[in-house]
Amino acid sequence: MSTVAQTSPARRGLSRETVQFAWRVAAALAVCVALSLLSDAFLTTNNLLNVLRQTSLLFLMASGLTLVILTAGLDLSVGANIGLSACLAALVIKSSGSPWLGVATGVGCGAMIGLANGFLVTALRVPAFIATYGMMWLILGATYFYMGGETVHGFPPSFRQFGSGYFLGIPIPIYMMLLFLLLGTLFAQRTVWGQQIYAIGANPVAARLSGIPVERRLVLVYVVSGAMAGLASLILLARVNSAEADIGEHFTLPAIAAVVIGGTSLFGGSGTIIGTLIGALILTLVVNGMNLLQINASWQPLVTGVIILFAVWFDIRARKSGN
Amino acid sequence: MTRGLLTRMPGVAIALVLLIAVFSLANPNFATLSNLQNILIQSTILLLLALPMTLIIMTEGLDLSMGAVLTLASIALAITAIATGSIALAVAAALAVGLGFGLLNGVLVAALDIPPFIATLGTLGIAQGLSLVATDGQSVVGIPRGLQQVYGGAFAGVPIPIIIGVLAFAAFFVLLYRTRFGSYIFALGGNREALKLAGVPDRTVLIATYAVGGAMAGFAALLMTARMNSAHPTAGIGLEFDAIAAVAVGGTSFERGNGWLTGTLLGVLVVGVLRNGLNLMAVPSSAQVAGIGALVIAALLIDGLRSRP
């Protein structure tokens, strides 16, 4: 399968992936129907825009992670990365008054963390989950130490537009979600580098033998994942209008869940960016439904954990029956 | 073993000696008998997690849920103790919670083939959610008095946690090096195919390994709850990281299935000495976490360099 996947991954994967994708869209619609029956507040413009806005935040942090998981890697430092990037960006915006300098800081910080992850995974061949796990705690500790329990809040309106502004009645993060959906899909499906990333995930040995610069592509996906986490941290910062050390901590599990629910295999080589968008949508709908039905927010990590386990289990079953 | 001694002993042992030397020079309160005894007592909970974590990592696995399971077990212990007044029932509840989650991890990894880091990340979420739901985010206080003795008491002049730590190390040493189960664990990491061909029920062994990890988290919850005389829904969060750090610093490899219990013991002491010494120097715990993160990455670097062909 792997050698075939290398020569024409997109075409060969299309039919099966299209079917799987249709199932996921159906699942999202089913959740929508169920919620509209259970709660009058669900099918309102405000709530739906709210769901999409939260989906876009989750999608942005999960889209870069999708590329990492396509290579059979993992980035457990996404949440910690969001925390540090948001806090640094907040401090830069506060001290300089320039939103753009803040944006550069957030994305730059995220990308640097990604670069460090990529270095550990490629040059030192540390397994991705343990390298990014060590990195996660290193960053968490550094963020808490640096912030020292402080909260930075109150940013200029021009910056807050990123998270809470509207254009033609639609929240700006939704446009960013669509933009990065387009860019990500084009990159993954229509560029040589994107196809090489699929090939590395499907069979790293064959990829190396066929002349793909595996190390450089791996570093690239970790840098992209880090930079997207940095970008997502800015949307989050602009939305909540305050930064604390723990601002990103609870996003790692949902981000991985969005990728896995979206049909990207943890074993690498198969998955799509738009699948991750549907995954992020399903997860956000579930959380939104729990809020509307006034279910205690304490249940959320439990529900996310159960969903992630089922999603991975389905993937493994599909792989076994497929082979 | 001999080769292991030659190649691994220097790293972790030198790190431990250096840390002790530095902290002794930096702070006159460090190298006192009572503080050294304190380090041993404080390291016990970590040792109880790091021992089974060594076995799990030797099978090329990982258990990210240990801290969250310990927390949930501690809450179960406190709630049962308050409701029934019986410490024995409370301990049984904690062990049951730990064992249950350990079995769940084992089934997810061994029977459903879910990668260990994702399986245990999922159960981490489940255990954390249950802890929050059970306590509504509040501390559980009002545990009957007797429990504190488990952490604060002494037997024949030796603090009980130190006795527990020594017994646990001895038990795991025998389990790993002197039983068939132990040799299966070595084979699970290094040569799983051979194990299967030899007719060993490899999945059962793997489930048992995770079950031991869960049960030990439940047992560690006893010490943790006795230490604080209360249970809190965030008390054990991140403890699995200290345990993984101790195992990594101790020279157990994440890829090649070779583990070393004495290395883990020294790794636990490295983490314990580091935390204690930094506490004495009034370094905030956030910086300690970052320091241990850097320590893990350093250990991975050294392991990575050593495994180079």
Domain layout of chain B by residue ranges: 32-236
Closest CB to B304: pick one of A125, A145, A306. Answer: A125
Other CB atoms within a 10 A radius of the CB of residue A26 amount to: 10
> Which pLDDT does position A180 carry in this prediction?
94
Give the CA distances from residue B3 to residues A163, B7, B8, B307, in Å, rounded to whole numbers and listed in that order. 58, 6, 8, 14
| Whether the Cβ atoms of residue A276 and residue A67 lie closer than 8 Å to each other | no
| Whether the Cβ atoms of residue A126 and residue A68 lie closer than 8 Å to each other | no
| Angstrom distance (rounded) from CA A221 to CA A65 | 8
Please state the φ and ψ torsions of residue A42, each to the nearest 5 degrees: -70, -55
Q: Is the dihedral of CA A144, A145, A149, A154 positive or negative?
A: negative
Question: Could you tell me which chain B residue has the CA closest to the CA of A308?
Answer: B122
A195 CB-contact burial (10 Å; exposed 0-12 / middle 13-18 / buried 19+): buried
Q: Where are the domains of chain A?
A: 52-249
pLDDT at residue B10 greater than cutoff 70: no
DSSP at B96: H
> Which pLDDT does position A9 carry in this prediction?
47
Q: Do B244 and A133 touch (CB under 8 A)?
A: yes
CA distance B157 to chain A (A): 38
Average confidence score pLDDT of chain B: 88
> Which pLDDT does position B2 carry in this prediction?
46
Mutation pick from A87, A298, A320 vs chain B, by most beta carbons of B within 10 Å, is A298
Please list the pLDDT of chain A residue by residue as tens digits (323 residues): 344 444 444 455 556 778 888 888 999 999 999 999 998 888 888 899 999 999 999 999 999 999 999 999 999 999 999 999 999 999 999 888 888 999 999 999 999 999 999 998 998 778 888 889 989 999 998 998 888 878 888 888 888 888 888 889 888 899 999 999 999 999 999 998 999 999 998 888 898 899 889 889 999 999 999 999 999 999 999 988 888 888 888 898 899 999 999 989 888 888 899 999 999 999 999 999 998 888 888 888 899 899 999 989 988 888 777 65
Dihedral angle at the C-alpha atoms of A286, A287, A289, A293, nearest 10 degrees? Answer: 140
| Angstrom distance (rounded) from CA A271 to CA A276 | 8
> Which pLDDT does position A8 carry in this prediction?
45
pLDDT at residue B309 greater than cutoff 80: no
| Angstrom distance (rounded) from CA B240 to CA B298 | 18
**H-helix or E-strand containing B255?**
none
Closest CB to B286: pick one of A134, A141, A256. Answer: A141
The fold for domain A52-249 equals ABC transporter involved in vitamin B12 uptake, BtuC (1.10.3470)
Q: What is the pLDDT of residues B152-175, one digit of tens each?
A: 888 888 889 999 999 999 999 999
| Whether the Cβ atoms of residue A69 and residue A271 lie closer than 8 Å to each other | yes
> Which pLDDT does position B299 carry in this prediction?
82
| Whether the Cβ atoms of residue A248 and residue A83 lie closer than 8 Å to each other | yes
Residues of chain B contacting A302 with CB distance shorter than 8 Å:
125-126, 128-130, 133
| Whether the Cβ atoms of residue B17 and residue B213 lie closer than 8 Å to each other | no
Closest CB to B125: pick one of A124, A305, A312. Answer: A305
| Angstrom distance (rounded) from CA A253 to CA A94 | 30
For chains A and B, CB pairs below 8 A equal 141
Mutation pick from B121, B126, B302 vs chain A, by most beta carbons of A within 10 Å, is B121
> Which pLDDT does position A5 carry in this prediction?
43
| Whether the Cβ atoms of residue A117 and residue A135 lie closer than 8 Å to each other | yes
Q: What is the pLDDT of residues B60-89, one digit of tens each?
A: 899 999 999 999 999 999 999 999 988 899
Residue with tokens 């930064």: A243
Q: Do B290 and A125 touch (CB under 8 A)?
A: no
Other CB atoms within a 10 A radius of the CB of residue A172 amount to: 18
Closest CB to A302: pick one of B125, B292, B307. Answer: B125
> Which pLDDT does position B9 carry in this prediction?
52
Closest CB to A298: pick one of B108, B133, B296. Answer: B133
Residues of chain A contacting B288 with CB distance shorter than 8 Å:
141
At residue B120, the 3 state secondary structure works out as helix
- Check if B55 contacts A (Cβ < 8 Å): no
Please state the three-class secondary structure of chain A as a single string: CHHHHHHCHHHHHHHHHHHHHHHHHHHHHHHHHHHHHHCCCCCCHHHHHHHHHHHHHHHHHHHHHHHHHHCCCCCCCHHHHHHHHHHHHHHHHHHHCCHHHHHHHHHHHHHHHHHHHHHHHHCCCCCHHHHHHHHHHHHHHHHHHHHCCCCEECCCHHHHHHHHCEECCEEHHHHHHHHHHHHHHHHHHHCHHHHHHHHHHHCHHHHHHCCCCHHHHHHHHHHHHHHHHHHHHHHHHHHHCEECCCCCHHHHHHHHHHHHHCCCCCCCCCCCHHHHHHHHHHHHHHHHHHHHCCCCHHHHHHHHHHHHHHHHHHHHHHHHHHC
| Whether the Cβ atoms of residue B244 and residue B58 lie closer than 8 Å to each other | no
| Angstrom distance (rounded) from CA B148 to CA B225 | 8
Closest CB to A296: pick one of B128, B133, B296. Answer: B133
> Which pLDDT does position B256 carry in this prediction?
67
Residues with Cβ within 8 Å of residue B265, at least 6 apart in sequence? B47, B169, B250
At residue B210, the 3 state secondary structure works out as helix
CA distance B179 to chain A (A): 29
| Whether the Cβ atoms of residue B264 and residue B51 lie closer than 8 Å to each other | yes
pTM strictly above 0.90: no
Residues of chain B contacting A125 with CB distance shorter than 8 Å:
304, 307
Strands B154-155 and B158-159: antiparallel
| Angstrom distance (rounded) from CA A83 to CA A226 | 12
Q: Do B290 and A124 touch (CB under 8 A)?
A: no
Q: Do A316 and B129 touch (CB under 8 A)?
A: no
pLDDT at residue B187 greater than cutoff 90: no
At residue B114, the 3 state secondary structure works out as coil
